[in-house]
Amino acid sequence: MLVCLQALAHQYKRSLESIHDNLPHIDISLVVKQGYLQFEPPLEEVHVAHYKNQLKPLLAIPLNFKVSFVNTNLTDIMTGISHSTSTVLL
C-alpha cells in the first residue's frame, strides 16, 4: 500500500512540475490608458482565471480521496503530499 501512495505522490509532484507545459497560452497586451501603462486583460483577472479553471482542480486532487485504512486516513496522507509538494510551485 505504501508503494502505491509513494507512486501517487511522485506522479502528483510530476504533474505540478509540468503544469506550465499544459496551461493554455494567454495573450496579454501592454496598453496606454489615460496616460498609464496597463496590462490588458488585467493581471488580476488572468491570475483568478488560471487558478480557478486550471490550478485549483489539480491542487485539490489529494484532498478528494475519501478512503481510510486501519489507523491511517488517506485524506491525511494526501494532505501531507499536497503540503510536501507545495515547494514545487515556488
Beta-ladder partners of 72: 69
CA atoms of 79 and 73, how far apart (whole Å): 10
Instruction: Give me the mean pLDDT over the 35-60 stretch.
Output: 86
Single-letter amino acid code for the residue at 48 = V
The answer, yes or no, to whether residue 2 has pLDDT greater than 60, is yes
Set of cell numbers at residue 83:
503540503
The answer, yes or no, to whether residue 81 has pLDDT greater than 90, is no
Kindly tell me the number of DSSP H helices and DSSP E strands found in the chain: 5, 4
22 vs 46, higher pLDDT: 46
Assess contact for 50 and 23: CB atoms under 8 A. yes
Q: What's phi and psi for 33, nearest 5 deg?
A: -125, 125
